[in-house]
Amino acid sequence: MKTIKILLALLPLFLIFPSCSSDDDNDSDNNSQVISQLLGKWKLDGVTVNGGDFEPIPSDDQFIYEFKTGGVITITADFFDDLDDDDVISGTYTVNNNILNVTMDGESLSHTILQITTTSLRLSARMDADEDPGLDDVVFFFTKM
């Protein structure tokens, strides 16, 4: 249940925290390679907050991040297999020097790509993920679908 609270708190944060990025033509090949690896659907398996224990996503819930060509991302939150249109949010993404920037409704959140393989993705972000004041270090663990 704690995981659901964390995840529900995190979803709106894509709309709250602004961030900046810069373009660097020297890294365009690396950026293209990372984007190529990102394309497709990724299921969120769980999170850690401030280096704490791994909090798995309950089996009845799913959070699916779909990275599409053209820099489009959709995030689907499916609780108890009861999906409706309100559970899908769309936005854009960019990659620059292993920083994934996701923008929704004009607000951005930057993630550091800690690991990306053909089957797993691990992202970190600095955000408010709990009831305590201040920002937390959150790591998201994904499996490719």
Alpha carbon distance 51, 113 (integer Å): 16
Average pLDDT of 109-120?
96
Look up the pTM and report it: 0.77
CA-based diameter of the chain, in Å? Answer: 45
Most confident by average pLDDT, 32-46, 84-98, 124-138 = 32-46
| 96 contacts 108 by C-beta, under 8 angstroms | no
Q: What's residue 21's pLDDT? A: 43
134: pLDDT strictly greater than 70: yes
| 46 contacts 59 by C-beta, under 8 angstroms | no
pLDDT tens digits, one per residue of 8-44? 445 544 433 334 444 445 456 778 899 999 999 999 9
Alpha carbon distance 102, 21 (integer Å): 11
Q: What's residue 6's pLDDT? A: 52
Q: What's residue 80's pLDDT? A: 54
Alpha carbon distance 137, 12 (integer Å): 17
Q: What's residue 61's pLDDT? A: 84
